[in-house]
Amino acid sequence: MEFKKNMFYITADAVVFTILSKELKILLIKRSHEPFKSKFALPGGMVNIDEDLEEAAKRELEEETGVKNIFLKKLHAFGEVNRDPRGRMVTIPFYALVDGEKINLNSTSGAEFAQWFSVYELPELAFDHKKIVDDALKHLRYEVKNTNIAVQLMPEDFTLSELQNAYEIIFNEKQDKRNFRKKIKELGILKAIPGTKMDGAHRPAKLYSFKEKGYKML
Amino acid sequence: MEFKKNMFYITADAVVFTILSKELKILLIKRSHEPFKSKFALPGGMVNIDEDLEEAAKRELEEETGVKNIFLKKLHAFGEVNRDPRGRMVTIPFYALVDGEKINLNSTSGAEFAQWFSVYELPELAFDHKKIVDDALKHLRYEVKNTNIAVQLMPEDFTLSELQNAYEIIFNEKQDKRNFRKKIKELGILKAIPGTKMDGAHRPAKLYSFKEKGYKML
DNA sequence: CCAAAAGTGTTAGTGATACACCCATGT
DNA sequence: ACATGGGTGTATCACTAACACTTTTGG
């Protein structure tokens, strides 16, 4: 692709969060071209002229991860003059939350390859993508506290310990078991599900599910 | 200006808040051209190709209001395909807070004229500017609660009642005088200033000032 | 019977809310 | 002296944080 010097280009990048192996991870792609060749960067790409911003982010993500119906939230635009040496790029980043078990990275199209990284052990990132990740993490934490987006990170049924684990990983701090359960029950966003889950030699845990799957302020 | 169909255009619009005559107001401009001719819209305009987004917003605002050094915060981009009939416009809105007394609207350049409107009695707005205003108001309230941006709305010295007034206007609800003063004092962001302010036949009020003028989380 | 995670209540502390009277001034 | 907004403290309530033992299972 060739870039003109007197034109704006709009890209939509995505910070895709998931929880895998008890860590909060984001999806990164190793760049196969200059600039920042062989550095890691956020998945994303050019917005087409006849495409909404969110549509573009969804399309790019689907191409990268093979996952449809991804939940996306807009972040602040980044548009410094020299953030990309090729031309005047303004990026509208989004952040997404997915259940890592459902993603199949092998379906990646093109020569680049995608990989999960712990948010606490990121490689050096291309462009100003580090700033975007920081912004996304801030927003993620805010929304996990104040909305029911955790829905997006959890499987259909889960135990209270699994949910607590997810919170601890996102906020990077231990929570008190009794207080956590009390708070969650008061919120009234979960419903008990008939079965139980066994996971080793100990008492089986009751299963729960979110009452509502739609985005909702608490 | 002529718009090409296969190009993105970036605009920076500003939602400028102030408090005037005991009301929370924003600055709007009556459009003198199509589309939306003679409707009101947010001040703003095209970002130049060699200009940062915030720089552009500052420049536009200075042209419209004659005020420099305006405090700006970025909002979410709006970029729906058909939000502007002339072409593919993506706007990066900002919101700004100013002390209304310092602004001189007569310095408006060009044929359009600027005017303050109460946020609770807005005229019909051009484009999707109503959505932008709503987003800005939400962010304003969040930040007034959690940061010291109120600095931007107040004159150098002020009385506690004046500050309380500003809060009541922004949140559109009465506050308890004693609780308000207690909370503010506990935050420790104000310092007492020697003089007093008289304003009618009653006890004069002590003057206060913000200790720090920079943006700060509380 | 031992190990390991599930499950369950109470107490203390902290911050938010509600509320009423005296003070200093100009007229 | 009176009208007007300035200034002050206390008691209650709601929410948050700290904390330990019993239960159920597999091995």
Q: Which two tokens stand for residue B52?
A: 């940062």
Radius of gyration of chain B (CA): 19
Interface check B205 vs A, CB under 8 A:
no
Residue A99: the pLDDT is 83
Interface check A106 vs B, CB under 8 A:
no
Interface check B87 vs A, CB under 8 A:
no
Distance measured from the CA of protein residue A179 to the C1' of nucleotide D16, in angstroms = 9
Residue B43 has pLDDT above 60, yes or no: yes
B42 within 8 A of B137, measured Cβ to Cβ: no
CA gap B179, B202 in Å, rounded:
22
The reply to whether B102 has its C-beta less than 7 Å from any atom of strand D is no
Question: In three state form, how does the secondary structure of chain B look?
Answer: CCCCCCCEEEEEEEEEEEEECCEEEEEEEECCCCCCCCCEECCEEECCCCCCHHHHHHHHHHHHHCCCCCEEEECECECCCCCCCCCEEEEEEEEEECCHHHCCHHHCCCCCCEEEEECCCCCCECCCHHHHHHHHHHHHHHHHHHECHHHHHCCCCECHHHHHHHHHHHHCCCCCHHHHHHHHHHHCCEEEEEEEECCCCCCCEEEEEECCCCCCEC
Residue A65: the pLDDT is 72
Instruction: Please calculate the CA angle B60-B64-B70 and round it to the nearest 5 degrees.
Output: 65
Nearest nucleotide by C1' from B202 CA?
C25
* DSSP classification of residue A215: -
A214 within 8 A of A170, measured Cβ to Cβ: no
Scanning residues 181 through 200 of protein chain A, those with a beta carbon under 7 Å from any atom of strand C turn out to be: 181-182, 196, 199-200
Consecutive sets of 10 residues in chain A, 218 residues long: mean pLDDT of each?
93 96 93 93 96 96 80 96 97 92 64 85 98 98 95 95 97 97 96 95 97 92
Chain A residue nearest residue B78, CA to CA: A53
The reply to whether A202 has its C-beta less than 7 Å from any atom of strand C is yes
Q: Do B8 and A6 touch (CB under 8 A)?
A: no
Residue B88 has pLDDT above 50, yes or no: yes
Closest to A14 measured CA to CA, from A80, A60, A83: A60
- Closest amino acid to nucleotide C10 (CA–C1'): A178
Tell me how many residue pairs between chain A and chain B have CB atoms under 8 A apart. Answer: 62
Closest to B169 measured CA to CA, from B144, B147, B194, B188: B144
- Indicate the pTM of the whole model: 0.94
Q: Do B52 and A81 touch (CB under 8 A)?
A: yes
B48 within 8 A of B131, measured Cβ to Cβ: no
Interface check B217 vs A, CB under 8 A:
no
Residue B101: the pLDDT is 76
CA gap B91, B70 in Å, rounded:
19
Distance measured from the CA of protein residue A52 to the C1' of nucleotide C25, in angstroms = 63
What is the identity of the amino acid at A119? V
Residue B9 has pLDDT above 90, yes or no: yes
Q: What are phi and psi of B20, to 5 degrees?
A: -140, 140
Residue A111: the pLDDT is 46
Distance measured from the CA of protein residue A99 to the C1' of nucleotide D23, in angstroms = 31
Chain A residue nearest residue B74, CA to CA: A76
Covered bases, chain D (protein CB within 7 Å):
3-10, 16-20, 23-27
A154 within 8 A of A210, measured Cβ to Cβ: yes
Nearest nucleotide by C1' from A202 CA?
D25
Residue B62 has pLDDT above 70, yes or no: yes
pLDDT band at B111 (very low <50, low <70, confident <90, very high): very low
Residue B114: the pLDDT is 86
Least CB-CB distance to A81: which of B8, B51, B77? B51
Helix (H) or strand (E) holding A17: strand A8-20
Distance measured from the CA of protein residue B182 to the C1' of nucleotide C17, in angstroms = 12
pLDDT digits (tens, 9 = 90+) for B173-207: 999 999 999 999 999 999 999 999 999 999 999 99
Residue B32 has pLDDT above 50, yes or no: yes
Interface check A10 vs B, CB under 8 A:
yes
